[in-house]
Structure 1
Amino acid sequence: MHKSLWRLLGYARPHAAVLGAAFVCMAVLGLCTGAYAYLMGPALRFLLSGGERGFGGEQSVPWLADLPREASLWGFPVVVVTVGVVKGVAYLGQFFFMGLFAQKTVADLRRELFVRLTSLSPAQLARERMGDLLSRFSADVQAVEVAAMYTVGSYLRDSLQIVVLAGVALSLSPLLGGLMLCVLPLAALPASRLTRKALRGTREGQLQLGHLAGQLQEGLGGMRTIQAFNGQAAELERFSSHARSHEEAMVRAAWARGGVPGLMEVLAAAALAGALAYAAATQAMDPASLLSFLTAVVLVYQPVKDLGRVTQFAMQAGAAGERLFALLDLRHPVEDAPGATEAPALKHGLVLEGVGFSYGERRALEGLTVELPVGQVVALVGPSGGGKSTITQLLLRFERPSEGRLLLDGVDADRYMAESVRAKFALVTQEPLLFSGSVRENLSLARPDATREELEAAARVANAHEFIQALPEGYDTRVGERGAKLSGGQRQRLCIARAVLSRAPVLVLDEATSSLDPESEREVQAALARVLPGRTALVIAHRLSTVVSADRICVVEAGRVVEQGRHEELLARGGPYAALWALQAGAERGAA
C-alpha cells in the first residue's frame, strides 16, 4: 500500500504551488487555534475581575496588559473576534485550495488512465471484465479524490495544530506538557494493528465492488438470454454472494477504523484526568494558566483523532492505487523500438511471412504466410478457430507474432512506429460499432477534418447516402447507443462509409456480413461491390459466396494456409475449398 501511496503523491508534484497556498492557510489556522487556547486563561481572569485585571499576571497578552479598564472592556473582545475572523478566512482558504489541488491531481490521473485504456490492445482489454475496468475508473479514482481532498489536508493542518498546541502546553507547564505528549506514542502500536486490519478489509471490499460492477455489466448486456432461460434467480444468487462478501469486508474494515478514534478518546480522557489531578494536588498553576493548559490538552487530541479518522481515506486510496497501477503498468504487446520511423506509403504490398502465434498454450498460427499485393482483394476462408481473425490482429499491430514477421514493401514492420502502420488499415468488423452521437459524428471519427462533400461522397460509395437522407435529421440524426436506432445493414454500411472516408490504403473486412440477415447482407454486398474494385483489401468471410470474385482466396486451417488460388481454380482442384463450398451449398439447399 505504501508504494501505491507514494506513487499517487507523484501526481501532486505539478500542483505544488496550490498545495503551498493551502499550507499557508493551514499554518495560519494552526496559529489561531493555539491563540484560542492561550487566550482562555486571560478570558477567565477578564470575566472574574470585570476587566480590572484581565491582562495582568504571569499569563498576559503583552500589548493589552497595561490598558486601562475602559479600553480593556472592548480590547479583549476585539482580539477574540479578530482571531476568529482570521481563523475563518484561513479555514475557507485551505478548503478551497485543497479542493482545487484534489481536482487537478485527479484530473491528471483520470487522463492517464484513459490514455492507458485506449492504448491497450483489444486482446488485453478482453482479458479484463469491463465492469471491473469501469469500477477502477469511477470508484477507485473517487477514493483517490477523497484522499487528496481530505487526507493530505488533514495531515498537514492537524499536524500543524498539534505542534502549535503542544507548544502552548509546554510553555505553560513543561512537566504536564511533556507527560501529555508521552501519552500519544502509547496509541501507536494498537493503532497500527487496527490500520492493517482496516486495510485488508478495504482492499477486499474494493475487489468485491469490482466483481459487482462486472456482473452488473454482464447482466445488462445479456438480459435477453437471462430472461429467456428464466435465469434471474441464479443471477440474483451470484449478485448476492458478491454483495455479502463486499458487506462483510467493509464491516470488518469499519470496526477496525472505528477503533482508532475510540482509542484516542480514552487516552485523551486519561491525560485530561491526570492533568487535573496533578494540578489539584500540587497547586503548581494559577487557575487562568491551568484553564489555558487544559484547553490546549483538549484541543490537541481533536486533531490527533482527526488524523486517525482520515487515515481510513488514505487506506482506501492505497488499496485503490494498487488496482489503478496494476492497470497503468500494463504495456501494449507491440511497442515501438528505439529509432522507429514513420511507415512510408505502401507501393507493393504486405506479407505475413512464416508467422507463428499463441494464446497462452493454445497455438493459433503455425508458420503461416499470406501475401496482400497492392490493388488486389485477398480473401481468407476456412473453419472457425482456424486463425483468420488472429491474422487481422497481427496486421493491425494489436499483437506481435512470436515467430516470423510482418513486411511492408519487403521491410520489417518493427522498423516503423506501430501507429503509422495501423494507419494503413481501415477495419470493418463483424459487429458494426457506432457511437451514440449523430451520423456525421460517427463518420467523422475516421477524419475529423473531412468536409460535408467528402462525408456524402463516402456515404454514396458505401450505398448509404439515400437512407441517411431519409432519416429525420439526415446526417445530424443521432443513432442511439451502439447505433440502436438503425438496422443491422444500415449500421454496417455506415461503418463501410467510415472506412472509405479514412482514405486508408488497405481495407480489412473481418466477417463484415456474417451476422446480418439476408436482406441486410444484400444491402452490404451491394455497398462492397462499389467499394472493393481496384482497392487493396483483405476479406475474412464465413460465407464463401461473398468472396467468389476475390483475386486470391486463402484457405486457413489449424493456423496454416492449406491452399490458395482463385475461386474457379480451387473448385477444380477438389481440395479443402471445394469441400467447404459443397458443404455450404448443401446447407443452403437444405435450408431452402
Structure 2
Amino acid sequence: MLLNHDLLREAGRVRRQLALTVELGLGAGLLAILQAWFLARVVNGVFLEGRDLSGVWPWLLILLGLIFLRAAFAWGMEVAGHRAAARIKYDLRRRLVAHLLALGPVPLKDGHTGEVVNVLVEGVEDLETYFAGYLPRLALAALMPMAVLGFVFPLDLFSGLFLLGTAPLLPLFMFLIGVQAERLTNNQWETLGRLSGHFLDVLQGLTTLKIFGRSKGQVEVLTRLSEDFRTTTLAVLRVAFLSALVLELAATLGTALVAVSVGLRLLYGRLPFQEALFLLLLAPEFYLPLRLLGSRYHAGLAGVTAAGRIFDLLSRPLPAGEGDKAGSAVGQDEVVAPFIAGHPGRATALSEDKKMVAGICLKQEIPSGRESIPGAAGDGGRPAGEKGLPRPGLHIILEDVCYTYDPGNRPALQGLSLELRPGEKVALVGPSGSGKSTVAHLLLRFLEPDRGRISADGHPLDRVPPEEWRRQVSLVPQHPYLFSGTIADNILLGRPHASWEEMVAAASLAGAHEFITALPQGYATPIGERGLRLSGGQARRLAIARAFLKEAPLLILDEATAGLDPATDQIIQTALERLLRGRTSLIIAHRLSAAVRADRIVVLASGRVIEEGRHEELLARRGLYYRLVTASRGAA
C-alpha cells in the first residue's frame, strides 16, 4: 500500500502533526455516524411517530451542530496534514541542497542538471499529496470501517458481515490496478527527467546551436519529447480514471446490496424503520474512507516514485570529511587548530601592491545587491593572513595516490607522487586522460584518494575539514562561472565581507578595474546569467580578482589564458604574475606554452609521473614532453 521505508522515516519527524491529522479525520467520521443517527431519528419521528417541528426541534439543532463541527474537523484535518507536509518538504529541500553542495561537481557530472532541478522542485512538491492526503487516508481507511462496524454489528449482524466481507474488494482492486499504474508513473518520471534535462541543455547551448544552424532542429526534438510526456501522462490518467470508476462501482454496488437486504427485512417487519434507515445511511460512510484512499492512490504513487529519485540523490556517498562539517572529531580538531594557526606567512600580492591603487577614487558605495549571489552572505571571513600579516605558500605532498572513477576500470591515477614546494610554480602537462584534472579535483577536495596520502605542511589533508581547507585554495578556471548579479557581487565571492577598497584593489591587480569603471554602472553593472554580457577575457579577469581578494596560499590555474587575443593575454599574464608571487601554484597546462614559465614541469601519463624538470631539461631528454612539444609545434 505504498508504504515506502524512507518516506515513513520522514513521517516520523512530524508524527505529532500526522497523528493529529488522523485523529481529526477519525473525529469527523464519528461525527458523521452521529449525524446519521440523529437524521434517522428525525425522519422516524416525523413520518412514523407523527411529531411536529417542535417535537423534533432539539434533534435538528443537535444535527446542525454536528454538521458544523464535522466541517471544522475536516478543515482542521486538511490544515494539519498540509502543515506536516510543508515541514517535510522544507526539510528535504534543505537536506538535498546541502547534500548536493557537499557532493561537489564531480559526482554529479554524469547526470542532467535539468533532471536534478526537476527532482528538487517537482519531485519534492509531489510528496505533499502523499503526506497530506494519502498517508492520513490510509490510516483512516483502516480505522473508520472498524468504527462503523462497531455500530452496525449490535443492530444487524447480517449487514455487518456483508460489509466486512466486501471491504477487502476495494484494496484488492487498488492493488491490481496499481501494478500497472506504477510502471506508467515511472515511465512518466523518466520522460519528464529527459525533457527537463534536454530543455536546459538547449537553453545553455543556444549560442552554439544557432552558430551551427541547429536551433530550429531542436524544436522537433523538444516536440517529440513533449509528445512522449503527453502520451505517458495520458496513460497514467487513463489508469487513474479507470481505478476511480472501479472503486466507485464497487462501493455503489455494495451500498445497493445493503439497501436491498435492509429493505426486504424492513418490508417483512424483521427490522425497525429507524434502525434500517440508520444502517442505510452508514453504508456509504463505511466505503467512503476506502474510496477517498483510492482517489489519492495515484497521487501517493507519484510521491513514492519521486521519493525514489530524491533518496537516490541523498544516498550518494559524500567525499571523506564532508559528512562532518563541524569537524567535531577529536582527531580532526587536533590537526585543524595547528594547521590554521600555522599560516601567518609572507606578504601577499594584494597587501604588497596596495600602493598601486592609492590614487583610485574609492568613493563609490557598495551596491545593495552585493549579497545576492550564493555564498555572498556566508561566513566567508577573511582567511588567516589578513591585516598585513603575511602567509607563505603551502608545502603540498602527494604520496602514492591512486584514484579510480569507476571501480574495475583503468585508474585515473596510479601511484602518483608529487611535491609542490612553498612559493613554487609547478606546471602539470600530459596527454588527454593522463590525470591532470583529477589531481586538481583531489587538491580541491572534490574527490578523495582511494589509496595514498596527501599532506599540507605535514598535516594529513583527510583530517582537515574540506570547508576549512578550501579557504586555503584559490581556483582560476579556463571558463569561470559568473552568477547573475553585479560585478561587485561576483568579485566578492572571494571574500564576502571584504571592504570596498579591498575589492577595488583586487580588481586593479587583476587588470579589471579599467574596463569595470568604463561600464555605465561600474561595479554595480549587472552581468547577466553566466556573465553573458562580458567577454571571455573580462570574465577571467574577474576570476583572478576573486583569487586576489581571497589571498589563499595555494593557487590552481586551469589554462587561464587559453583562447585570448594578444592584448588581453598580456593583461592577464601580467595579473597572473602578480597573483603567483609567493604562492604555491599548480598550473594545469593544456597548452604547452603555459608551462614554459613554470619553475618545474611535471609530465603525467596514465596517471603516473613520467618526467619532471624545467623546460630546457625536458626537451634535452627527448622523452614524452619533447614529443608533446614537437606535436604541438607541428599542429601550429
TM-score relative to the length of structure 2? 0.82
CA distance in 2, matches of 1:166, 1:438: 67
Distance 1:451 1:20, change over 3 A: farther
1-structure distance, mates of 2:29, 2:173: 28
Give the structure 1 partner of residue 311 of structure 2.
325
Change (3 A) 1:304 1:525: same
Alignment of 1:85 with 2:68, yes or no, is: yes
Q: 1:20-419 to 2 correspondence within 5 Å? A: 20-48=19-47, 53=51, 70=54, 72=55, 74-157=57-140, 159-231=142-214, 235=218, 238-239=221-222, 242-243=225-226, 245-283=228-266, 284-335=270-321, 339-341=331-333, 342-343=335-336, 344=339, 345=342, 349-360=395-406, 361-419=409-467
Name the SS of the counterpart of 1:401 in structure 2. Answer: coil
Instruction: Write the letter of the residue equivalent to 2:314.
Output: L
Partner Cα separation in structure 2 for residue 298 and residue 583 of structure 1 = 84
Distance (Å, rounded) in 2 between the aligned partners of 1:186 and 1:34: 23
How far apart, CA to CA, are the structure 2 residues paired with 1:274 and 1:173? 14
Once residues 133 and 171 of structure 2 are traced to their aligned partners in structure 1, the CA distance between those partners, rounded to angstroms, is 21
- Whole-angstrom CA distance in 1 between matches of 2:455 and 2:38: 81
Query: Could you tell me how far apart the structure 1 residues matched to 2:592 and 2:245 are?
Result: 74
- The structure-2 alpha-carbon separation of the partners of 1:333 and 1:29, relative to structure 1 and needing over 3 Å to count, comes to same
What is the SS of the residue equivalent to 1:340?
Answer: helix
Deviation of 1:350 after TM superposition, in Å, equals: 0.5
* Paired residues of 1:11 and 1:108 also in contact (CA < 8 A): no
In structure 2, give the amino acid aligned to 1:53. Answer: R
In 2 relative to 1, CA 293–264 (structure 1 residues): closer, same or farther, beyond 3 Å?
Answer: same
After superposition, the Cα gap between the structure-2 partners of 1:19 and 1:268, relative to the gap in structure 1 and judged at 3 Å, is closer
1:251 CA displacement = 4.1
Rounded to whole Å, the distance in 2 between the matches of 1:534 and 1:335 is 29
Q: Secondary structure at the match of 1:366?
A: strand
Give the unaligned 5+ runs of structure 2: 344-391
Q: Percent identity between the aligned chains?
A: 34
Equivalent residues in 2 for 1:534-553, closer than 5 Å: 534-553=582-601
2:545 matched to which residue of 1? 497
Separation in structure 2 between the aligned mates of residue 519 and residue 160 of structure 1, nearest angstrom: 78
How many residue pairs end up in the alignment? 571
SS at match of 2:502: helix
Residues 447 and 371 (structure 1), Cα distance of their counterparts in 2 relative to 1, 3 Å cut: same
Q: Is the 8 A contact 2:27 2:73 kept in 1?
A: yes
* TM-score, normalisation: structure 1: 0.88
Q: Which has the higher helix share?
A: 1
Cα distance, 1:128 vs. partner?
A: 1.3
CA contact (8 A) 1:183 1:271 kept: yes
Cα offset, 1:103, TM superposition:
0.6
- How far the C-alpha of 1:313 sits from its partner, in A, is 1.8
Kindly state the Cα deviation for residue 149 of structure 1 after the two structures are TM-superposed.
2.1
Q: Distance in 1 between matches of 2:606 and 2:260?
A: 87
Q: Take 1:156 and 1:354, find their aligned partners in 2: how far apart are those partners?
A: 58
2: distance between equivalents of 1:390 and 1:30? Answer: 62
Contact 2:206 2:215 in 1 (8 A): no
What's the Cα RMSD here?
A: 2.9
Residue 48 to residue 399, structure 1, CA distance change in 2 (3 Å): same
Matched residues in 2 for 1:21 and 1:299: separation? 21
Confirm or deny that 1:455 pairs with 2:503.
Answer: yes
AA aligned opposite 2:484: S
Shift in alpha-carbon separation, 1:549–1:231, aligned structure 2, 3 A? closer
Q: Report deviation, 1:310.
A: 0.8
**Distance verdict in 2 for CA 1:45–1:165, change over 3 Å:** same
1:532 corresponds in structure 2 to 580
- What residue number does 2:374 align with? none
In the TM superposition, what are the counterparts of 1:417-566 in structure 2 within 5 Å? 417-566=465-614
Q: What are the Cα deviations for residues 145-203 of structure 1, in whole angstroms up to 9, with x where unaligned?
A: 22122212333455554344333433442321331222112334333221222112112
Q: How far 1:566 moved relative to its partner?
A: 3.1
For residue 61 of structure 1, what is the aligned residue in structure 2? none
Amino acid aligned to 2:502: E
Instruction: Measure how far apart 1:253 and its partner are.
Output: 3.6
How many angstroms apart in 2 are the aligned matches of 1:349 and 1:384?
Answer: 27
The answer (yes or no) to whether the contact 2:491–2:545 under 8 Å persists in 1 is: yes
Q: Distance in 2 between matches of 1:365 and 1:426?
A: 23
Paired with 1:217 and 1:109, the residues of 2 have a C-alpha distance of 24
Q: CA deviation at 1:302?
A: 2.5
Report the 3-state secondary structure (helix = DSSP H, G, I; strand = E; otherwise coil) of the residue aligned with 1:124. Answer: coil
Change in Cα spacing, 1:366 to 1:17, as seen in structure 2 (3 Å) is closer
Asked whether the 8 Å contact 2:39–2:63 carries over to 1, the reply is no
Whether the aligned pair in 1 keeps the contact of 2:38 and 2:59 (CA below 8 Å) is: no
Work out whether residues 170 and 290 of structure 2, in 8 Å CA contact, stay in contact via their aligned partners in 1: no
CA distance in 2, matches of 1:455, 1:230: 42
Task: For 2:86, give the aligned amino acid.
Answer: Q
